[in-house]
Amino acid sequence: MGYKAALKIWRGDAGAGQLADYDVEVNEGEVVLDVLHRLQATQATDLAIRWNCKAGKCGSCSMEINGRPRLACMTRMSVFSPEETLTITPMRTFPVIRDLVTDVSFNYAKAREIPSFTPPPEVKPGEFRMRQEDVNRSQEFRKCIECFLCQNTCHVIRDHAENEGAFAGPRFLMRVAELEMHPADIADRREIAQDDFGLGYCNITKCCTEVCPEHIKITDNALIPMKERVVGRKYDPLVWLGSRITRRGAKDTPAVPGGR
Amino acid sequence: MTQATEAPARTRAQISERTLRKDPWWQAPRLVAALLTIWVLYATVRVFTGHWYYVPKYHYLTPFYSPCVSGECVPGSSALGHWWPAVPPIIPYAVVSLVFVLGFRLTCYYYRRAYYRAFWRAPAACAVREPHAKYTGETRFPLIGQNLHRYFFYMALVIAVLLTYDAAQAFRGPDGNFGFGIGSLILLANVILLWGYTLSCHSCRHITGGRLKHFSKHPVRYWIWTKVSALNARHMQFAWITLGTLMLADLYVMLVASGALSDPRFFN
Ligand code: SF4
Ligand code: SF4
Ligand code: FES
Ligand code: FES
């Protein structure tokens, strides 16, 4: 049983644009991306949308539907009532290329700044042996599909573009946490997590967790454990005293130069 | 050397609405703000009254007055003795534990989330623009002090032991032998849930095992970490339930101590 849905879609480029009204047919079982494709095929042939897998796995179709950051291919039309007008806008935090397509290169720049996996030099490739319990934590983070919905929603940069330089965002602080928890990694990224990647800007209000389509517990399992690790490195007087006495001086790994 | 290609300068979509959300996103922060305000007002009034905090007959001491260390404290209520002479309750009788209890809750990762959202509105709800022109999060004084949470956690362990002692005392009847009533059960339930809240703390999760890289090399700590992690997933629930039980335990002791209610006894 189909019906006609009223859509308001943000159209424009280079930031300037407005909401345009459309009425589009909806059939049973469809998701928002299906309806956008029908709109593109029938009425707005120049509508720009980024998508790829239509299965919630490529992370391309991130947008904001009725103000909520979501994947268009994983948002069923049945969650809205047929009378409801759907407002669909591009992610607000990233610059618009055109219509619903944004330029997410900010995220790739942040990814490059993180010192990569650093195994002990004497261990040769193929020699790693790890137990499942050692990698469980990292494996949760590896479910990330890089949709950047968390980066888009985090108020630290969404509402304060001036913090973009100082803050890497939840997805990349989670990457730092993943490497810090890796049993075969010897780099120490705690100092740069705070000073270069801006972990202190996060106020653990959990919006990244709320929007993650992979249901990764970003705040509880990556950001808070990382904050606790940073406390151990920078703010815990007992740990500081202990490292003075035993002279186990910490070797901090610097951020990758030229990243920004 | 390869040169990263610069994308042409582009700007964000200019959308003037603070949010386009249509669901009632303002409900949760309002409810949280209301509940926290009620609780703080109640607790403030109670710690400064200096009355009805101890039931000598049944050895019930409210958690808000433990340890009762002022010279004003009535006989039997001061397990740790009197630390200063009798002065009226401009200083709460249990000020030594209250500062740590307050600090523990104020720096708690869950309550931080709750009050940043409900009172500071940074952000009130996800994808709703916050009202502040500048934002530095927890990078500067005073909020950088949130990093001291683990010290409040250590103190909270000490206080939990003390409250466990108080709950055990509440299982002594009027003649000093075993006996219990509704009040004993309330104080016991309160302290069990407080242990749940304390042990589910994120700092506890870090200290017991989260800080390790190699779980497989520390099987015992790994096992403890899995248990603490299971509790930790319910930390928010513990945070709210214990606010409720603390208030209930105090209210009950107050009613019995003032004579407004007589404690139904099951035994002795
Ligand atoms: S929890 Fe931290 S990183 Fe995640 S959205 Fe909130 S402020 Fe951003
Ligand atoms: S962590 Fe979740 S929300 Fe963030 S980019 Fe990965 S999948 Fe998307
Ligand atoms: S199209 Fe791949 S996640 Fe939506
Ligand atoms: S008590 Fe809530 S995180 Fe420690």
Predicted confidence at residue B7, as pLDDT, reads: 52
Does the structure show a pLDDT above 80 at B3?
no
- With cut-offs at 50, 70 and 90, classify the pLDDT of residue B233: very high
* Residues whose CB falls within 8 Å of the CB of residue B244, separated by 6 or more in sequence, listed in order: none
Among B4, B10, B135, the residue with its CB nearest the CB of A96 is: B10
d(CA B182, CA B263): 6
**What are phi and psi for residue A249, nearest 5 degrees?**
-60, 135
Q: Tell me the angle at which helices B235-257 and B27-49 cross, rounded to the nearest 10 degrees.
A: 40
Q: Is residue A155 part of a domain?
A: yes
Q: How many domains, chain A?
A: 2
Q: Is residue B22 part of a domain?
A: no
Of A68, A101, A134, the residue at which a domain comes to its end is A101
Range in A151-155, B176-180, B240-244 the model is least confident about = B176-180
Whether residues A96 and B116 touch (CB distance < 8 A) is answered with no
Whether residues A201 and B214 touch (CB distance < 8 A) is answered with no
Whether residues A185 and B127 touch (CB distance < 8 A) is answered with no
d(CA B166, CA B160): 10
Distance from CA of A192 to the nearest CA of B (A): 13
B117 neighbourhood in chain A, CB within 8 Å:
205
Check which CATH number belongs to the domain holding A135 and give it. Answer: 1.10.1060.10
Q: In percent, how much of chain B has pLDDT > 70?
A: 96
Query: Closest-CA residue in chain A for B215?
Result: A134
Output the DSSP codes for B97-162. HHHHHHHHHHT-HHHHHHHIIIII-TTSSTTS--S-S---TTSSTTGGGGGGHHHHHHHHHHHHHH
Q: Flag whether residue B7 sits within 8 Å of chain A, measured between CB atoms.
A: yes
In the block, tokens 């303002």 appear at: B26
Predicted confidence at residue A1, as pLDDT, reads: 65
Does the structure show a pLDDT above 60 at A259?
no
Q: In percent, how much of chain B has pLDDT > 90?
A: 88
Query: Closest-CA residue in chain A for B11?
Result: A95
Q: Is residue B35 part of a domain?
A: yes
Distance from CA of A25 to the nearest CA of B (A): 22
Backbone CA torsion sign across A220, A226, A232, A235: negative
Q: Identify whether the C-beta of residue A153 lies closer than 8 Å to the C-beta of residue A69.
A: yes
Q: Is residue B1 part of a domain?
A: no
Name the nearest CA neighbour of B171 among B180, B163, B162.
B180
Strands A85-89 and A62-65: antiparallel
DSSP A26: E
Task: Specify the amino acid at residue A6.
Answer: A
Does the structure show a pLDDT above 90 at B2?
no
Task: Specify the amino acid at residue A185.
Answer: D
Q: List, for residues B144-157, the tens digit of each pLDDT value.
A: 999 999 999 999 99
Q: Are residues A76 and A123 in the same domain?
A: no
Pocket test for ligand 1, best of A205, A209, A230 (most atoms within 8 A of CB): A205
Q: List, for residues B114-136, the tens digit of each pLDDT value.
A: 999 999 999 999 999 999 999 99
Output the DSSP codes for B8-70. PP--B----SS----S-TTHHHHHHHHHHHHHHHHHHHHHHH-SS-EETTTTEE-GGG-S--B
Q: Are residues A68 and A162 in the same domain?
A: no
Q: Is residue B13 part of a domain?
A: no
Query: Closest-CA residue in chain A for B226?
Result: A133
d(CA A205, CA B32): 14
Dihedral angle, C-alpha A252, A253, A259, B2, nearest 10 ° = 150
Question: What is chain B's mean pLDDT, rounded?
Answer: 94
Q: Flag whether residue B259 sits within 8 Å of chain A, measured between CB atoms.
A: no
Taking the model in full, what pTM does it have? 0.94
Q: List, for residues B171-214, the tens digit of each pLDDT value.
A: 999 998 999 999 999 999 999 999 999 999 999 999 999 999 99
d(CA A212, CA A217): 8
Mean pLDDT for A203-227 is 98
Does the structure show a pLDDT above 70 at A83?
yes
Q: List, for residues A103-113, the tens digit of each pLDDT value.
A: 999 999 999 99
Q: Are residues A176 and A150 in the same domain?
A: yes
Predicted confidence at residue B5, as pLDDT, reads: 63
- Domain, as residue range, for B43: 27-129+139-267
Q: List, for residues B216-232, the tens digit of each pLDDT value.
A: 999 999 999 999 999 99
Q: CA distances (Å), B232 to each of A174, A177, A205, A211, B117, in order?
A: 19, 18, 16, 21, 21
Q: Is residue B2 part of a domain?
A: no
Query: Closest-CA residue in chain A for B203?
Result: A228
Q: Flag whether residue B141 sits within 8 Å of chain A, measured between CB atoms.
A: no
**Distance, C-alpha A106 to centroid of its chain:** 11
Predicted confidence at residue B177, as pLDDT, reads: 94
Helix (H, G, I), strand (E, B) or coil at A189: coil
Q: List, for residues B84-117, the tens digit of each pLDDT value.
A: 888 776 889 999 999 999 999 999 999 999 999 9
Q: List, for residues A113-146, the tens digit of each pLDDT value.
A: 999 999 999 988 888 888 999 999 999 999 999 9
Q: Are residues A233 and A111 in the same domain?
A: yes
Task: Specify the amino acid at residue A89.
Answer: T
Range in A91-95, B34-38, B47-51, B167-171 the model is least confident about = B47-51
Determine whether A256 is exposed, middle or buried from the number of CB atoms within 10 Å of its CB (0-12, 13-18, 19+): middle
Mean pLDDT for B68-88 is 88
Residue B62: both structure tokens together? 């409210």
Residue A61: both structure tokens together? 């179709």
* Residues whose CB falls within 8 Å of the CB of residue B71, separated by 6 or more in sequence, listed in order: B82, B84, B85, B86, B87
CB count in 10 Å sphere of residue B258: 11
Report ipTM for this prediction.
0.93
- Domain, as residue range, for A131: 105-242
Question: What is chain A's mean pLDDT, rounded?
Answer: 94
Q: Are residues A84 and A168 in the same domain?
A: no
d(CA B204, CA B230): 12
Q: Is residue B7 part of a domain?
A: no
Q: Is residue A252 part of a domain?
A: no
Range in A14-23, A41-50, B4-13, B55-64 the model is least confident about = B4-13
Q: Is residue B17 part of a domain?
A: no
What is the CA(B33)–ligand 1 centre distance, in A? Answer: 20
Q: Tell me the angle at which helices B149-169 and B182-199 cross, rounded to the nearest 10 degrees.
A: 160
Helix (H, G, I), strand (E, B) or coil at A95: strand
Residue nearest to atom 3 of ligand 2 (CA): A212
DSSP B263: -
Residue A33: both structure tokens together? 């991306």
d(CA B205, CA B227): 9
What is the CA(A99)–ligand 1 centre distance, in A? Answer: 27
Predicted confidence at residue A256, as pLDDT, reads: 85
d(CA B104, CA B141): 18
* Residues whose CB falls within 8 Å of the CB of residue A45, separated by 6 or more in sequence, listed in order: none
Q: Are residues A38 and A88 in the same domain?
A: yes
Whether residues A15 and B14 touch (CB distance < 8 A) is answered with yes
- With cut-offs at 50, 70 and 90, classify the pLDDT of residue A13: confident
Q: Which residue of A227, A229, A241 is the best one to mutate when testing the B interface, meaning the one whose CB has the most B CBs within 10 A?
A: A227
- With cut-offs at 50, 70 and 90, classify the pLDDT of residue B9: low
Q: Is residue B183 part of a domain?
A: yes
Q: Is residue A254 part of a domain?
A: no
Residue nearest to atom 7 of ligand 1 (CA): A202
Among A17, A130, A180, the residue with its CB nearest the CB of B13 is: A17
Predicted confidence at residue A14, as pLDDT, reads: 73
The answer, yes or no, to whether any atom of ligand 3 lies below 6 A from the CB of A234, is no
- With cut-offs at 50, 70 and 90, classify the pLDDT of residue A245: confident
